[in-house]
């Protein structure tokens, strides 16, 4: 997925510090960052209260504006802005949760599922490897690894049964494995 004209203009307006640009940016991507915070916490068995979630989301946006939008200025514009922000958000949130600088209640210990492969966090690597796959496989890999969607969410989008998502991911990874991806 490439950068849309709308997002290209919104990004440029932010970088140019146009009036209301940052507010429009936050309005557009707040839901995405909240979703990433919820998903990362849930995948780690952490039950976020509203204040903790707000802190994580605020930290992501602070990282985006730090050093005159340096993270946004580094965006190469070779994928969608949502994809880039998902990767950045995941990294910021994971780093914060790993450093223990959060006040959250742990719902239960994280479930260790040895059959659940690691998610790739390097968007450039993912995009290169996606070109090796057919359209359906690439879409499923993109939704799982970049957008952080669950099998159930992917099933709803693709119309495939939940039980089909894992095998499609496995076959796609097999194709990519010889080209630099290790699960």
CATH architecture, domain defined by 123-177 = Orthogonal Bundle (1.10)
Tell me yes or no: is domain 5-106 CATH 3.40.50.300: no
pLDDT for residue 181: 53
pLDDT for residue 114: 38
pLDDT for residue 102: 45
Are 58 and 37 in contact by the 8 Å Cβ rule? The answer is no
Question: pLDDT 10s digit of each residue in the chain, 183 long?
Answer: 678 899 999 999 999 999 999 999 999 999 999 999 999 988 888 888 888 899 999 999 999 999 999 999 999 888 889 999 999 999 999 888 887 644 444 443 334 343 344 444 455 666 677 777 888 888 887 777 666 777 888 889 999 888 888 888 878 877 877 665 554
pLDDT for residue 135: 86
pLDDT for residue 30: 92
Are 154 and 165 in contact by the 8 Å Cβ rule? The answer is yes
Domain map (residue ranges) of the chain: 5-106, 123-177
DSSP E strand stretches across 22-110: 46-47, 105-106
Model pTM? Answer: 0.56
């Amino acid at each position: 997925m490439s950068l849309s004209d709308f997002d290209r203009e919104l990004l440029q307006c932010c970088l140019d510090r146009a009036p209301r640009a940052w507010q429009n940016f936050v309005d557009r991507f707040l839901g995405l960052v909240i979703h990433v915070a919820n998903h990362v916490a849930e995948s780690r068995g952490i039950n976020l209260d509203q204040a903790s979630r707000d802190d994580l989301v605020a930290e992501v946006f602070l990282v985006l504006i730090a050093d005159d939008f340096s993270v946004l200025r580094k965006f190469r514009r070779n994928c969608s802005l949502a994809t880039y922000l998902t990767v950045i958000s995941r990294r910021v949130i994971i780093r914060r949760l790993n450093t223990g600088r959060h006040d959250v209640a742990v719902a239960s210990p994280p479930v260790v599922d040895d059959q659940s492969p690691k998610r790739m966090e390097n968007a450039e690597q993912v995009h290169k490897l996606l070109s090796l796959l057919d359209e359906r496989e690439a879409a499923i890999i993109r939704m799982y690894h970049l957008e952080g969607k669950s099998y159930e969410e992917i099933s709803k989008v693709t119309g495939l049964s939940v039980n089909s998502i894992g095998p499609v991911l496995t076959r796609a990874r097999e194709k990519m494995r010889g080209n630099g991806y290790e699960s």
